[in-house]
Chain A
């Protein structure tokens, strides 16, 4: 019947269905031709932008910051937005017309996915393993080295990870640090100073690891080797073997932490005795009031520590690439490097005179910042771009899923 004041149910559903389909088609409109591959002659915006703004293969970019305008959008780790890190830029000539605007990222994976999905930033702060993904996707461009006066102060081995085969600089390292186990020395036998401690049933339910899939697999490789070995160049067989080892390790763990704050809280509240942490996590645990009198150590496993290098990359569609580079230069000074260590206990990629500027000299010893051998194999394995990262990740996910299943 259609006598009521409102249309009947069938009529409404027919009409609303029509609207839904229309809306759906509109929403998916850009994809309507996706049954067939996109012709190579019609590149999409990101690729074309990369082609037009990126320099020729071996030509060094030249920017003119004085003639540029527009704000600098920075996709940054929380805590790095403070004025101390950008001091000389904020006091310089460009800040008035090109202020720094911050958005915060949670991890490398999320940052890459967000930028790849089309969100534009002028500067992004990925770790060294991820910048090649940005470059491959046409999301970043090379820096103009003439605008980076302190760049040479970064040790060559650390710089090398951010330079492509043509010698162009895509990633300017900023922060470096270890990733290893924090442990209660009264609970761990000195003979166990190895990643293999994770296999010890004596500590079952009292240990925690970072939920990062790549780290899980690297740790498994170091356990399997029992001696220093580069975990950045694993074969498929080694990844599979590492996965099996970590599947045995996982039941010994209390959790895989996603936020370092959580594991610090777990440690100081007595839920765990051993955890994977970065330098600031170790320092927070060691100096926490609840840990007074408890011997807390930052392990130097006999297989070597894991370590990371993160830095800044320049968005391919940056409106003011010269000024963005000037901001990177501001964060690359020795003074900022010393501040980074004093406040966050991280190592600075910038090494030129930094140790003299660090106020808390205890940090130099605690993190071996004055020991050049500490930041090189076989004592530490810095992360590197991984061509087969997907294999690492899938194996790591399998470890976590198996532990819970």
Chain B
């Protein structure tokens, strides 16, 4: 038998190796052809500006190339550790029921680093709880989520915003940051809560033309964002649609409109929620649509109620979509600039506006603005990295 086996000659082997080598080189070239432009664009338009911002924030490496650039470089002669120190302040004040009075029901001041560490631990526990504590992992995850969300969740309360727990600081910028986190968290959670049923209905209940319906859901995106914000001003103004409607129904007096509808944090959250709900239907819908329906049948066959099947099967499998949806709202919202500028009023001023004011204000404090921008970026990057496990299919079940 062995004598029948053809042994390739050395020359043929050489040809094959060269051919394969060329093939692989060609494939590598096509890989870079496909992805390379994006990578290069990212490097030039994202990483390079980021590097400049980092240099601005440190204040150590930047030397203005000319007098004109020095004008906008701010005071870059000193090491900016002091700026970071100013930003974090002396400590974080935790207030319980802050709406009860100046300092709320109770308050305590703790070092900012400790609060930062606590958040890192809570986020990691929320992500890795099941792996770290096998038996009580579910409770650890649940507790961590609640502990992360509760301090930042808000409820509208007349002209004010009601918080059960509020993080505050002597540092104005850090206080603004906590407020922005709070507004972004509330908007994100509410947007997800609104978008989930819509996506669920489209995925499970609509049988015909579901993609047409999906297109209809995202129709608001066909109009300009600015236009939609101005539409809200028309709706929420003191003589706007809601107030005029209520006045004509006799519910309120025309002379005493509901003033809390516009120019406060509540308005910003309404607009942010509205703006993102159609968009985040998409990731949730895709997660639900790709779910293996036989798992639900199996759960039912094994005696699970519809609610239990939803909690134990549907929700964990939809987790990647839900987390993606949350991040899609949270990340742009926390650094929002245009929405609070237009409908936020004095109370709705957010962290993104503070960053912009540093850069474009008459002081040209690019160093201070860079410190704030870098801090925001760090928080967002950490959050995204920590929750990236959920973004993978089935990640929520781990």
A→B interface (CB under 8 Å) = 5-7, 12, 15-16, 19-21, 23-24, 27-28, 30-31, 34-38, 43-47, 50, 107-110, 112-113, 115-118, 133, 136-139, 205, 212-214, 250-251, 253-256, 258, 262, 265-266, 269-271, 389-390, 392-394, 396-398, 400-405
Closest to B63 in A: A34
CB of A256 within 8 A of CB of B364, answer: no
CB of B263 within 8 A of CB of A404, answer: no
CB of A20 within 8 A of CB of B47, answer: yes
CB of A404 within 8 A of CB of B344, answer: yes
CB of B346 within 8 A of CB of A400, answer: yes
CB of B259 within 8 A of CB of A390, answer: no
Give A398 to B69 CA distance when docked, in angstroms.
25
Interface contacts beyond A6-B28, A28-B48, A109-B361: sample of 13 additional A-B pairs, CB < 8 Å, sorted by A: A7-B27, A16-B36, A20-B47, A24-B51, A30-B65, A31-B65, A117-B68, A137-B66, A138-B66, A271-B239, A393-B362, A401-B354, A405-B179
Q: A7-B31, A46-B68, A137-B71 are contacts. A24–B43 as well, Cβ < 8 Å? A: yes
Give A400 to B357 CA distance when docked, in angstroms.
10
Within 8 Å CB of A397, what residues of B? 354, 357-358, 361, 363
Contact among B40, B173, B346, B354 with A256 in the assembled complex (CB-CB below 8 Å): B346
CB of B357 within 8 A of CB of A46, answer: no
Q: Nearest chain B CB to A97's CB is how many angstroms away?
A: 29
B172 part of interface (Cβ distance < 8 Å):
yes
Give A128 to B39 CA distance when docked, in angstroms.
45
Within 8 Å CB of A5, what residues of B? 23-24, 27
Within 8 Å CB of A396, what residues of B? 361
CB of B39 within 8 A of CB of A253, answer: no
Q: A24-B43, A205-B259, A271-B262 are contacts. A405–B175 as well, Cβ < 8 Å? A: yes
CB of B346 within 8 A of CB of A254, answer: yes
CB of A23 within 8 A of CB of B43, answer: yes
- Tell me whether chain A's interface is mostly helix, strand or loop, or mixed: helix
Within 8 Å CB of B263, what residues of A? 254-255, 271
CB of A137 within 8 A of CB of B48, answer: no
Q: Nearest chain B CB to A88's CB is how many angstroms away?
A: 32
Within 8 Å CB of B239, what residues of A? 269-271
CB of A404 within 8 A of CB of B348, answer: yes
Give A405 to B161 CA distance when docked, in angstroms.
12
B116 part of interface (Cβ distance < 8 Å):
no
CB of A403 within 8 A of CB of B354, answer: no
B14 part of interface (Cβ distance < 8 Å):
no
Q: Nearest chain A CB to B229's CB is how many angstroms away?
A: 11
B176 part of interface (Cβ distance < 8 Å):
yes
Give A113 to B39 CA distance when docked, in angstroms.
29
Contact among B32, B159, B176 with A15 in the assembled complex (CB-CB below 8 Å): B32
Q: Nearest chain A CB to B170's CB is how many angstroms away?
A: 11
Within 8 Å CB of B240, what residues of A? 269
Closest to B233 in A: A265
Closest to A17 in B: B39
CB of B349 within 8 A of CB of A403, answer: yes
CB of B71 within 8 A of CB of A116, answer: yes
B237 part of interface (Cβ distance < 8 Å):
yes
Within 8 Å CB of A12, what residues of B? 31, 35
B67 part of interface (Cβ distance < 8 Å):
yes
Within 8 Å CB of B24, what residues of A? 5, 7
B345 part of interface (Cβ distance < 8 Å):
yes
CB of A403 within 8 A of CB of B346, answer: yes
B238 part of interface (Cβ distance < 8 Å):
yes
Give A228 to B173 CA distance when docked, in angstroms.
34
15 CB < 8 A contacts A-B: A19-B40, A24-B43, A24-B47, A107-B360, A118-B68, A254-B345, A254-B346, A265-B233, A270-B237, A270-B238, A392-B362, A393-B361, A401-B349, A404-B346, A405-B349
